[in-house]
Amino acid sequence: MNQPSLDRRKALAGLGGLAAAGAVGFGAAGCAAPASATAGKTGLRYWHLFGGGDGVNMAALVDAFRKEHPDIDTEATQLQWGTPYYTKLAMAGAGGRAPDVAVLHLARLAGFGPGRLLDPFDLDRLADAGITPDRFPSDVWQRGAVDGKQYAIPLDTHPMVLYYNTEVCKKAGLLDGSGKLRSITGAAEFTDALRAAKKATGAPALTAETLGPDCITPWRLFATFYSQTGGTVLTEDGKGLALDDAKALKVLDYMATLTSEGLMVRRTDYPGAIGVFNGGKTAFHLNGEWEVSTFTNSKLPFSMTRVPALFGRPTAQADCHSFVLPHRKDRTGSASDEAAHTFVAWMLKHSVDWARGGHVPAYLPTLSDPDYLALQPQSAYRDVIDDVALDQPAWFAGSASPMWIELGAVFSGVLTGSRTPGGALREAKNRLRKLLDTRNPLGNGGAT
């Protein structure tokens, strides 16, 4: 009997130790940010959701910022992309103990309780650092404002783009003299190009994610093509349904033909679609520009360009990473708030390094920076920034939002053949109506 009691005591001691270590760790990790800052330094806590290549780029930028600002004790935390990130950010803001600065997808701003979960930027302070509204595309800048106050400062735009395999396209005769993809206008021309590429390799010419858990690309494809027809999904204010049946059906019919004719891989999830394009036999891949590092690293002979204008205007579905100031009870006039403004201004001015990950910088001076222009193929599609189609401002819209996930699943059925275009349109409208009928759970912001 002695032995077990000894063990128990040991175990208890161990547990006590663990608890103590846990408490210390907890303090260091979050609750006591100002205290953890070394004497004489201003603590700055920054939350973001960048993984993969973006995560590496962001870490390098934060390191560079630290070196240039030894008086600011910067602590960057990378959280998991998507729902987990937004859940955590909302809860932190609600408790008034949020980080000093954070990243938010611009199209999610409407649903993120500006005024309650987010604090506005001090534009004078940013202007002192050279960040003024005229240095951003006005549409994108405007999306960051609610009730005349600027809640989000855009860092970049990440639109859907067209990746193409230069070798396959050359074989199919789709390149011009300088080795770039010849311009494609209209759905018929794009179909012809796909047919030519398929003939050249015997493999489907196009790949994109068509199914899988939280599958979003089918929505992105739809949103891109549908925006080209000039239609919008919701009304300008994001409060009503504006889906135009005829235009939407035209787009959905086209999406259905792509797979039914065997021009596009019918059933593949996100990693699968990338794997197929990486295989080297597929001419085209439709996806966000952020996969550029994947294909660069795999040494695939590829380039990328804007999504061709298949249905009229050359627009592409997009969202923007932006900086926000999550609500803090002690924000006003604090040193860390000043540091947050410094941080945001510095990041924007150094967004050339950020652009390596494929994103188009929102800070316009960067677009003419020689260092940026030298980035290939990243700078090849920079003019898309004038033609980006963001979701209308609704609480359920934006990256990883309920709308994207619900409609992604519906339009996935069109590509895989389990839904007819007409059936998918009806279902999409049903789901949108349900979202529109649901009260914004985070409130409309502003007032409170």
Partner 1 sequence: MTATTTVAAPAAPDEAAAPRAVGVRRRWTEHGLLFIAPFLLVYALFLIWPLASGVGMSLSSDNISGAGGEFIGFDNYAEALRDPNVWSSMWNTVWFTILSTVPLVLTGMVLALLAHHLRVVQWLWRLSWFAPFLLPSGVVGLLFLWVIFPSDFGFADQLLASFGLHPGIGWLTDERYAMLSIVLATVWWTVGFNFLLYLAALQSIPQHLYEAAELDGAGARQRLLRITLPMLRRTTGVVVVLQVLASLKIFDQVYIMTGGGPDASTRPILQYVYQAGFTGYRIGYASAVSYIFFALIVIVSLVQLRLSRRNGEESK
Interstrand relation of 206-207 and 284-288 (parallel, antiparallel or unpaired): parallel
Q: Which of 128, 240, 418, 422 binds partner 1 (CB under 8 A)?
A: 418
For 106, the 3-state DSSP assignment is helix
Cβ atoms of 345 and 126 within 8 Å: the answer is yes
Which range touches partner 1 (CB under 8 A), out of 48-56, 185-193, 210-218, 282-290? 210-218
User: At its nearest, how many Å lie between partner 1 and the CB of residue 427?
Assistant: 9
Among 267, 297, 330, 383, binds partner 1 (CB under 8 A): 267
* Residue of 196, 203, 241, 405 interacting with partner 1 (CB under 8 A): 405
Among residues 45, 61, 72, 93, which is the contact residue for partner 1, using CB under 8 A?
93
Binding mask 110-129 for partner 1 (x = CB under 8 A): ---x--xx------------
441 binds partner 1 (CB under 8 A): yes
Of residues 315 through 374, those in contact with partner 1 by CB under 8 A are: none
| 439 counts as binding partner 1 under rule CB under 8 A | yes
Q: In the chain, how many H helices and how many E strands?
A: 18, 15
> Is position 90 an interface residue for partner 1 (rule: CB under 8 A)?
yes
Report d(CA 311, CA 406) in Å as an integer: 24
Contact 171, 200 (CB under 8 A): yes
Per DSSP, which regions of 133-185 are E strands?
145-146, 149-150, 152-154, 156-165
Q: Which two tokens stand for residue 383?
A: 């003019």
- Say if residues 403 and 234 touch (Cβ distance below 8 Å): no
Query: 181 - beta bridge partners?
Result: 175
Q: Which is nearer to partner 1, 187 or 415 (CB)?
A: 415
Angle at CA of residue 323, ends 318 and 324, nearest 5°: 115
Q: Which of 13, 23, 28, 91 contacts partner 1 by CB under 8 A?
A: 91
Q: Hey, which residues between 268 and 297 contact partner 1 (CB under 8 A)?
A: 269, 272
Residue 208 touches partner 1, criterion: CB under 8 A: no
Counting contacts by CB under 8 A, is residue 214 touching partner 1?
A: yes
Q: Which two tokens stand for residue 270?
A: 């996100």
Direct distance between the N- and C-terminal alpha carbons of the chain, in angstroms, rounded to an integer: 63
Q: Does 215 bind partner 1 (CB under 8 A)?
A: yes
CB 404 within 8 A of CB 223: no
The residue range among 161-169, 236-244, 343-351, 408-416 that interacts with partner 1, by the rule CB under 8 A, is: 408-416
CA-based nearest residue to 84, from 214, 250, 268: 214
Q: Is 410 in the site for partner 1 (CB under 8 A)?
A: yes
* CB closer to partner 1 out of 96 and 186: 96
Residue holding tokens 């770039």? 180
- Both tokens of 213, joined, read 């858990």
Part of the chain binding partner 1 (CB under 8 A), chosen from 28-36, 93-101, 140-148, 304-312:
93-101
* Contact indicator for 144, 154 with CB cutoff of 8 Å: yes
Strands 388-389, 316-319: parallel, antiparallel or unpaired by DSSP? parallel
Only segment of 21-29, 158-166, 267-275, 378-386 that touches partner 1 (CB under 8 A): 267-275
CB neighbours (10 Å) of residue 55?
15
Q: How many CB atoms lie within 10 A of CB 166?
A: 18
Measure the CA–CA gap between 251 and 233, rounded to whole angstroms: 13
Smaller CB separation from partner 1, 312 or 446: 446
Instruction: Work out how close the CB of 324 gets to partner 1 at its nearest, in angstroms, rounded to a whole number.
Output: 15
The token pair that represents 236 in the structure block? 């300008």
Number of residues that bind partner 1 (CB under 8 A): 35
- 412 near partner 1, judged by CB under 8 A: yes
- If the CB atoms of residues 207 and 228 are measured against partner 1, the closer one turns out to be 207
Structure tokens belonging to residue 354 = 């950020």
- Nearer to partner 1 by Cβ, of 155 and 425: the residue is 425
For partner 1, the binding residues (CB under 8 A) are: 83, 87, 90-91, 93-95, 113, 116-117, 211-215, 267, 269, 272, 396, 400-402, 405, 409-410, 412-413, 416, 418, 438-439, 441-443, 448
